[in-house]
Amino acid sequence: MTHQKLSVNPFQLIQAGQLLDRPVLLYGQWQTEADDGSAAQRKALLFFAPQRWHEVKSRSELQHLRSEIAATQQLAAGHVLSSGWAGYFSYEAGRAQQQIETGSAILAEFGYYPMVIHLDLGQQEAVAHWHPDTDDEAVKQRLNDLLLAAGEVVDGNTGRPRTWSQVWQPDDYQHAFHAVQDYLHAGDCYQVNLAMPFACTDDLTSASPYGLFNAFDPAFGGYMNTPQVTLYSVSPERFMCIDRHDMETRPIKGTAPRGVTAQEDADNRNWLAQSEKNQAENLMIVDLLRNDMSLYAEPHSVRVEKLFDIETHANVHHMVSTINARLKSSHHAIDAVLAALPGGSITGAPKKRAMEIIDELEAFSRKAYCGSLGFFGDNGVADFNILIRTIQAYADGAVCWGGGGIVVDSQCHDEWQEVLHKVQKILDTWL
């Protein structure tokens, strides 16, 4: 037997995530349509207690990680994920891929996990799946550790509101915004994604991710706790999903706030759907990602399946497009992921020049922010988000960034307000 249903509520495991060894929790990425056509149910995956661990700080180490991951994915039959690699690539890994100096920055942290817990949040079921070569005693020990952690969960929300401060004031943002405009008018770029950080002095490394997940029900959320950093992400954006050889990316570009009333909310959504400016921004990034995917795609397989869809999230409406392609049989999923780092929706275009401008103007290094969190399953499935709407927590404090794409007809006040719409609910949520 290589699976076991657990006598524990999946929400207890989400609340207990920070008590496990190097956990990776990927929330809301996998939905199954019910037979009766009712709404899809939310699911999550929980990885913990890795057998191997990589903290990557150089291009050579990144290539070594690539080789190890490629060696374990077998494109096995069936879709049940029972083992694999999980972790994140930082924004700095994207800088390395673009041949931009990264110094001693962490490029990636990944572990190999021989067991995966599947959480069905609709049916409130938890099932453990593990690699068939895993020793029985090792399985027993992992399951005992998991149930012990769940048993330590205290009912109710044990978090509290935190105090966040703007690292940039409006004048700072305005200065950077106009510098971007100068570069755009000079022809250096046609879009630059400018971001600004918000800081908290509390140690949030041992907080539970449950409060944020409960508040946002994120489409591509994630949580990861390592000795270096704790990540809390309520990302709405998929970077790349690869199922054997079928690839999908879903870039976001275009935002409108949620309305106070139902009518205002509908009006905001309709405005976004009809906004030519946001459609133009979205199309710029669609073209960039079509090019990124084509590097390892079968010729003529890249297709824009959906253009300018409007999705509604807890804090904003977004304009989202969907691009599909077929991965060449001679290449591995990690090749396609690495080639597309960092996601074009959070750089601008052309990508490398936009990143150079970002380096010049932003307050400090993004680190994990705008990187990508996800997994490479041994069954040939890989799925990664874009690490936006993300808190990076360290022992001496935490940071949460907000940003948006700047084009020649952008207005500074509107872009500033968009940043606040994106992050304010995160900053207000108990953690």
Tell me the per-residue pLDDT of 370-385, one tens digit each, with 9 for 90 and over.
Answer: 999 999 999 999 999 9
Least confident of 30-39, 104-113, 254-263, 418-427: 30-39
- Specify the pLDDT at position 72: 83
Q: Please, how many CA atoms are within 13 Å of residue 324, restricted to the half-sphere of its CB?
A: 6
- Specify the pLDDT at position 153: 82
Whether domain 3-153+162-428 has CATH 3.60.120.10: the reply is yes
What residues form DSSP beta bridges with 397? Answer: 394
- Specify the pLDDT at position 68: 95
Q: For 74, list phi and psi in degrees, rounded to 5.
A: -110, 0
Per-residue pLDDT band for 41 (boundaries 50, 70, 90) equals low
257: pLDDT strictly greater than 80:
yes
Burial 267-305 (b: 16+ CB within 10 A, else e): ebbeebbebeebbebbebbbebbbebbeebbeeebbeee
- Specify the pLDDT at position 381: 92
Tell me the per-residue pLDDT of 299-353, one tens digit each, with 9 for 90 and over.
Answer: 999 999 999 999 999 999 999 999 999 999 999 999 999 999 999 999 999 999 9
Per-residue pLDDT band for 73 (boundaries 50, 70, 90) equals confident
Domain residue ranges of the chain, discontinuous segments joined by +: 3-153+162-428
Per-residue pLDDT band for 76 (boundaries 50, 70, 90) equals low
Q: What percent of the chain has pLDDT over 70?
A: 95
- Specify the pLDDT at position 33: 41
Per-residue pLDDT band for 156 (boundaries 50, 70, 90) equals low
Rounded Cα distance, 200 and 424, in Å: 13
Q: How far is CA 295 from the centre of its chain?
A: 22
The structure tokens listed for 407 are: 């084009």
28: pLDDT strictly greater than 90:
no
Least confident of 146-160, 171-185, 283-297, 326-340: 146-160
User: What does pLDDT average to over the chain?
Assistant: 93
Please list the active-site residues.
237, 253
- Specify the pLDDT at position 1: 74
85: pLDDT strictly greater than 80:
yes
